[in-house]
Amino acid sequence: MTNYIIRRVMIIPILMAGISMLIFAMLSLLTPYERAALYVTDIPKRQGAIEGIIEKYGLDDPIYVQYWRWMVGQKDEDTGEVTGGVLRGDLGWSKVGKSTVAEVIARRLPATAELAIWSAIPLIGLAVWMGIKAAVNHDKFVDQILRLAAIAGWSIPTFVFGLLLLLKFYSDLDLFPPGRLSIGMNEFIQSDAFIQYTKLHTLDALLNLRFDVFKDAIRHLVLPVVTLSVVSWAFLLRVTRSSMLDTLRQDYITTARAKGLPESKVISRHAVPNALIPVITVGGLTLIGLFNGVVITETIFNIKGIGSFLAQAAVALDVVSVLGLTLFSSMILIVGNLVVDVLYSIVDPRIRLD
Amino acid sequence: MTFGYVFKKLIKNPIAFIGLLLLLGFIIMAVWAPVFAPVPENARDPYMIPRDGFSAVPVPPNEDHILGTTEGQYDIFYGIIWGSRTAFRIGVVITLFTTLMGIMVGSVAAYYGGWIDEVLMRITEIFQTFPFLLTAITLTSVLQAVYGRGEAGALIYSAKILAFLTFGHSLAEKINPIQLTILTGMISIIMFGWMTIARVTRGNILTVKNYEYAIAAETIGAKNLRILFRHLMPNAIFPVLVIASMNIGSYVLTFAALSFLGLGAQRGYADWGQMISFARNWIPSLAEYSHIVIYPGMAILLFVLAWNLVGDALRDILDPRMRGTK
Amino acid sequence: MNARKLLYILSLLVIASMLIVACGPADSNNNADMDNNMANEPAANEPAANEPAADEPAADEPAGFEYPFKNPDTYVVASFGEPETLDPAWTYETSGSAFENNIYEGLVWFERERTDVFVPILSTGWEANDAGDVWTFDIREGVTFHEGGTLEPHDVAYSMQRALLQDRVDGPHWMTHEVFFGTYSIAESIGDGSGGVADGTPEELVAACELVKSAVVADDAAGTVTFTLVQPAPWFMAILANSFAGAVVDQEWMAENGDWDGDCATWQDFNDPAAEESILFNVANGTGPYVLDHWTPGEEIVLTANQNYWRADDDPIWEGGPSGIASIQRFVYLLIDEWGTRLAMFEAGDADYVVVPAQFNSQVEPYYGEITCDAPDHKSCVEVASDGWIQAYTGYQRPIMTPAQFNQAINSEGGNVFQGSGALDGNGITDDFFTDLHIRRAFSYCFDYDTVIAEALDGEGTQAQGPIIAGMLGYRDDGFVFSYDPDKCAEEFQLSESGVWDTGFYMQIAYNTGNEGRRLAAEVLKAGIEDVNPNFQIQVVGMPWPVLLNARRAGKLPIYVGGWLEDFHDPHNWVHPFLHSGGAYGRVANIQDPLKTELDTMIAEGAALTDPDARRPIYEALQLKAQEEAIMIWMYQPLVRYHFSPWIEGWYYNGAYSAGSFSYIYALDKVGP
């Protein structure tokens, strides 16, 4: 297995290179003038302004030169000093984020992470429980209802669902507002009286023993978490159900039943642990799949996280930001996948990684 | 397994029956759109929703507009009816292309194996590693810029083919700029939507490949390609069809998400996602203007639901082994 | 089997209930429509939803509603739009310069709401020679920078020299170079002026720097700074009051922190930097009443009052104006893109000022309390409510104008989607379509000015008279303006010798996606034109900004709906961009000779004079010519509103401020109940 992990880790740079090249190729479809538009928010007032910008940022260099510059940095002809370069750990300057890409990630990741972590709880807990419930009652009423609910959940557009929730619980009942914290709370947590250990507001609130902050953060989290998890919830429910069904048909379950074990024990002791094995894989993938959901969810609920930023940068055609953030999120996906695979082989000895 | 058998099974399944019923409803809506929502006399393009003034404030349902108007006074009822045509077109054409691409990549990889397989699967993996929606957003923005230039080139021809299949737009004519943004969204979804089918096809062919008749055919000396098409494809293709039918709904969803972010259909085009995007400006008073979300939202939900219900049942009927996988 | 039947029924029920949900809100909406003030009082409304909603609107607001007082001494603004940088010499957009106006100071500043009267700030007085091209300022003593340095005359000179030499390529200093040297960039002062900065030899570069230094001279002993202009410029003071040219930085501190040290041998290393390359990108060291606390990009910018501000308590900036340390201790600028969130914050008392896009005015009107109106007989002065909590200031004419610029020589090279077939065959337009005066006039007659003003601006705007805005030198009391008149429009089309009335035409008008005002203007123009003749067809297309910018540069757009916000308050800054063949609009309008030469000559004439009475006839003539020749569709100027919480006091309107709400926080107070 160590070999397998090493091999997988070795392949990461190749994937990364492939990904960055693909994005670069995509962006090379743009003319220098279109790329320069990022730096010009209004019509240029001086003649030759756009041409000057193109020259300043080297936008008309051949695309491989630009790629190389982005990868290994730029050498100053006079001083010989090299600046930038992804390989040297510099993801570059984000024009849209008005800071370095690394700073953008550092600033925006906590919001996304908090959202994803909280979404995972109802997701995994509820979906797995319901999936088991459905399988145990196979083809009975409960099963059919859950199945229908899963399809419905799978069919609802994230943004419609989010808007409907806002309609009811914010616009109508004024229970759960958008954003991450109320303004007053936001001011408070930035003061010296509150130490931000992780920038995950809920966790920090608990660490500071400030339950009012915790409550406020939760109040803002409820709707986005529900919105984000509903699609994946449906998916996971179905996987759990079918995995459980498969397990229930296995010989050893029949044997256990034949031995006269009570049904509840058969299920909790023998069936569930085995049925959960494939769920781990899919569950991991689902969490990764949340990445797609965050773009819409963060946009609707006005959360300043990675997803909403990337959407903003992509629309503005900010090449450096898009490249940096895509690389970063791809990295998370790849590592996440690897972890899931390894976990999978640990819990299920039948699977051999090679 | 004849068509009649499948159909009978579908009718008997209550869930699928509802799905079929809904689908039928949408088909009727799309086919007879001009009857349900007549095109105003002086309209130049029936897909542009007629508007009653320019005011931003939405108007709730009333006698003139039975489902009300949304921001910009676009008639919601008209938009929903004609939007069903857009939904069918987008869903079906995207599915067609992703399925073809997936089958091609998957079968070539599986059949030839070796380094071809390795390279193709590595590429598939790279595409799968992208955060799908984010990359689709980027590609759509880029393509909108590229096509906006209106210069000739390979990309324009591919868009023309797509325009021909989607809108029946003549290949000789210039692309209608109103349709252009829809095409760019579709291309992005196709570019990043073929991987699942490729993997499934590859997996199935690898299984089927070991079957005796394939081996037998090879020993007789039949040409590689002929083997591929004669024997392997039909056996591997059924599961793919199931996935494809389920995909239609999710592509419509993805396209709607692009529209919602302002990267899909043009403002005022009969497209459900575009109609819902207006709601973003009215969130605090959404309770008052709920009609601008609920009606188009219901349309998308029911449309996607219909496909998923049918797809789910189809899967059970055609391939019991696949129960529960995506 | 039984379970299956049940399931049938249940599935049907699910679908049916969805449909019911879908149809449900219709009822409550009708109620909401009748009683249009109940938008945000949901809980109180629920029980009454079924009763006829004939209550007084006032009943919605609980009697004795008290607007919460939060954040004492802190002025919170919720807005969108973020500075590109906080380096004043680099900045050429309103958001950045508004912050700089609080942090940095120049020699002069506007006297309260006046845009043409200046008060001394870092100077104690000034005089100009008789010709009006040499200005000498006495520099104030006893002023310290935020980081501790003392203001000396050479700091003032250095700041101006740095601005002129930094001269970023898309920056504001074409104006500065114009007044000092009659050129538009530093590159024009290098060698023969044909190359860029990088092409200059070391000698040429030093010479260019020396030229700049000779125009801006400090005399530390005498405590003066002297500016020598190439010719008298009536708007020189207005430029000095702007932060891009006026803001004063500390030369020693700048050099210590790695910026230019004033040496003519190294200035080119600091020429045309990217925004983030300037050391002042996100740190600041000015003399102003506020200090930059922090800027978290994408989230907030916070300023705090300068506790060591130089102005004494008995030395008000103008009569009755603020003095001493600023009254508002903290200024918080929150970046909130979503309008809905901003509104919610405003209602909760979390923001003292929010930016309200004109189309959403109706959403805040129910909360209007005290209304101050600047345009007496205008719609915006209609009383909407008077027992609410918003301090509303309405009807202010901002120096902004939206024109639709014709392109008289469309570039069809390599194909041009915007002009259709490229021929006047009913499916396109020719390259010289808009060279025809009759067609330009027809377009001007077919544009429904009132509808656009009513819909895009919610009625709050006025039709523009020409390039020069209302209230400015050159704005005429009388004279011809177009009005919406389909008959005259048709007549003009028929008069055109191109035969367009019979053949018809097709063209596209593009706007940048997301710009609602421009979209609406294009849509109204489309509707007006298509109404007069069924063979006329215009397609309005939203496009990403890069595409539009590119197409405009290449001269491919037949019509471009744009906008102009003045850089400095003088008619020159209006006629030059619009009408001059080198102006931002003029150079893509491709105005043809002899009109082109005529306009260029008149503009140069007007700029060379200082006496307002001598200038007036020239600008009035330009104004009339621009209208009669229908060089553009002079569409509208907006009137704007400002919405404050009840606690902000001392506000006044100054049209030259880049952000009306916070360009000069020093003058404001926050007073609790």
pLDDT tens digits, residue range B258-290?
Answer: 888 888 888 889 999 999 988 887 877 788 888
Domain around C497: 400-638
Shortest CA distance from A36: residue in chain C: C546
Q: How far is A6 from chain C (nearest CA, A)?
A: 39
Domain boundary among C223, C258, C287: C287
Nearest to C170 among A31, A49, A93 (CB): A49
- Chain A residues with CB under 8 Å of C341 CB are 178-179, 302
Shortest CA distance from A101: residue in chain C: C297
Write out pLDDT tens, residues C259-288. 999 999 999 989 988 888 899 999 999 999
- Alpha carbon distance C365, A81 (integer Å): 59
Nearest to A37 among C348, C350, C546 (CB): C546
- Alpha carbon distance B194, B166 (integer Å): 18
Residue with tokens 């419905």: A152
Query: Which of C111, C105, C136, C140 is CA-nearest to residue C124?
Result: C140
Shortest CA distance from A298: residue in chain B: B261
Domain boundary among A64, A91, A118: A91
Contact C437, C580 (CB under 8 A): no
Write out pLDDT tens, residues A49-59. 788 888 888 88
Q: Which A-chain residues 243-262 have CB contacts (< 8 A) with chain B?
A: 243, 245
For chain B, which domains are there? Answer: 7-37+49-322 (1.10.3720.10)
Whether B217 shows a pLDDT value over 80: the answer reads: no
Whether C38 shows a pLDDT value over 90: the answer reads: no
- Co-location of C515 and C654 in the same domain: no
- Co-location of C526 and C481 in the same domain: yes
- Alpha carbon distance A191, A194 (integer Å): 6
Nearest to B149 among C15, C514, C550 (CB): C550
Q: In chain C, pLDDT over 70 holds for what percent of residues?
A: 89
> Are the beta carbons of B260 and A27 separated by less than 8 Å?
no
Beta strands C505-512 and C536-543, pairing class:
parallel
Nearest to A160 among B145, B283, B293 (CB): B293
Q: What is the CATH number of the domain that holds A238?
A: 1.10.3720.10
Which pLDDT band, with edges at 50, 70 and 90, does C631 fall under?
very high
Shortest CA distance from C273: residue in chain A: A56
Whether C77 shows a pLDDT value over 80: the answer reads: yes
- Co-location of A56 and A183 in the same domain: no
Q: List the subunits that have 3+ CB pairs under 8 angstroms with A.
A: B, C
- Co-location of C629 and C598 in the same domain: yes
- Co-location of A22 and A123 in the same domain: no
Query: Which of C345, C341, C531, C375 is CA-nearest to residue C457?
Result: C375
Question: Quick one: average pLDDT of C164-177?
Answer: 90
- Co-location of A57 and A106 in the same domain: no
Does residue A306 belong to the interface with chain C, where contact is any CB pair within 8 Å?
Answer: no
- Co-location of A64 and A140 in the same domain: no
Domain boundary among A58, A91, A124: A91
A14-23, A72-81, C480-489: least confident range:
A72-81
Whether residue C538 is contained in a domain is answered as: yes
- Alpha carbon distance B120, B128 (integer Å): 12
Nearest to A43 among C70, C298, C562 (CB): C562
Q: What is the CATH number of the domain that holds C260?
A: 3.90.76.10
Contact C363, C39 (CB under 8 A): yes
- Alpha carbon distance B13, B19 (integer Å): 10
Q: How far is B217 from chain A (nearest CA, A)?
A: 32
* Residue B242 zone, left/alpha/beta (φ > 0; ψ -120 to 50; rest): alpha
- Co-location of A132 and A35 in the same domain: no
- Co-location of A61 and A142 in the same domain: no
- Alpha carbon distance C271, C281 (integer Å): 15
The two tokens of residue C479 are: 């004279």
Residue with tokens 């959901």: A293
Which pLDDT score, from 0 to 100, does residue B322 have?
Answer: 45
Query: What 3-state DSSP class applies to C577?
Result: helix
Question: Quick one: average pLDDT of B297-318?
Answer: 85
> Are the beta carbons of B54 and C417 separated by less than 8 Å?
no
Q: In chain A, pLDDT over 70 holds for what percent of residues?
A: 94
- Alpha carbon distance A31, B148 (integer Å): 12
Contact C179, C161 (CB under 8 A): no
Query: What 3-state DSSP class applies to C397?
Result: strand
Please tell me the total number of residues recorded for chain C in this structure: 673
> Are the beta carbons of C340 and B281 separated by less than 8 Å?
yes
Whether residue C163 is contained in a domain is answered as: yes
- Co-location of C336 and C416 in the same domain: no
- Co-location of A213 and A260 in the same domain: yes
- Co-location of C593 and C649 in the same domain: no
Whether C105 shows a pLDDT value over 90: the answer reads: yes
Shortest CA distance from C351: residue in chain A: A183
Does residue B263 belong to the interface with chain A, where contact is any CB pair within 8 Å?
Answer: yes
- Co-location of C553 and C606 in the same domain: yes
Summary mean pLDDT of chain A: 81
Whether A265 shows a pLDDT value over 60: the answer reads: yes
Q: What is the ipTM of this complex?
A: 0.82
Does residue A105 belong to the interface with chain C, where contact is any CB pair within 8 Å?
Answer: no
- Chain C residues with CB under 8 Å of B150 CB are 415-417
Which pLDDT band, with edges at 50, 70 and 90, does A37 fall under?
confident
Q: How many domains does chain C have?
A: 3
Which pLDDT band, with edges at 50, 70 and 90, does C205 fall under?
very high
A18-22, A256-260, B68-72, B234-238: least confident range:
B234-238
- Co-location of C626 and C648 in the same domain: no
- Co-location of A80 and A214 in the same domain: no
Q: How far is A36 from chain C (nearest CA, A)?
A: 8
The two tokens of residue A75 are: 């050498």
- Co-location of A194 and A144 in the same domain: yes
> Are the beta carbons of C298 and A304 separated by less than 8 Å?
yes
Does residue A10 belong to the interface with chain B, where contact is any CB pair within 8 Å?
Answer: no
Which residue, among A10, A155, A296, would best test binding to B if mutated, counting the most B CBs under 10 Å from its CB? A155
> Are the beta carbons of C11 and B14 separated by less than 8 Å?
yes
Write out pLDDT tens, residues C495-518. 998 889 999 999 989 888 777 788
> Are the beta carbons of C26 and B291 separated by less than 8 Å?
yes
- Co-location of C517 and C570 in the same domain: yes
- Co-location of A226 and A87 in the same domain: no
Whether B150 shows a pLDDT value over 70: the answer reads: no
- Co-location of A119 and A213 in the same domain: yes
Whether residue C376 is contained in a domain is answered as: yes
> Are the beta carbons of B283 and A157 separated by less than 8 Å?
no
- Co-location of A70 and A183 in the same domain: no
Does residue B42 belong to the interface with chain C, where contact is any CB pair within 8 Å?
Answer: yes
- Co-location of C616 and C651 in the same domain: no
Give residue C595's identity as a one-letter amino acid code: L
- Co-location of C280 and C404 in the same domain: no
Query: Which of C452, C448, C451, C460 is CA-nearest to residue C360?
Result: C460
Domain around A216: 99-353
- Predicted model pTM: 0.82
Helices and strands in chain B: count of H runs, count of E runs: 14, 0
> Are the beta carbons of C544 and B61 separated by less than 8 Å?
no
Q: How many domains does chain A have?
A: 2
> Are the beta carbons of A239 and B325 separated by less than 8 Å?
yes
> Are the beta carbons of A243 and B324 separated by less than 8 Å?
yes
- Co-location of C556 and C653 in the same domain: no
Whether residue C94 is contained in a domain is answered as: no
Q: Which B-chain residues 100-129 have CB contacts (< 8 A) with chain A?
A: 122-123, 125-126, 129
- Chain A residues with CB under 8 Å of B145 CB are 29-30, 34, 317
A151-165, B120-134, C209-223, C567-581: least confident range:
B120-134
- Alpha carbon distance A38, B142 (integer Å): 13
Which residue, among B71, B124, B135, B199, would best test binding to A if mutated, counting the most A CBs under 10 Å from its CB? B135
Whether residue C248 is contained in a domain is answered as: yes
Nearest to B125 among A15, A245, A307 (CB): A15
Q: Which residues pair with B51 in a beta bridge?
A: B74
Whether B85 shows a pLDDT value over 50: the answer reads: yes
Domain boundary among C287, C316, C350: C287
Nearest to A49 among C169, C196, C351 (CB): C169
- Co-location of C649 and C634 in the same domain: no
Shortest CA distance from C332: residue in chain A: A187
How many Cβ atoms from other residues are within 10 Å of residue B297's Cβ? 26
- Of A146-155, A195-204, C2-11, C307-316, highest mean pLDDT: C307-316
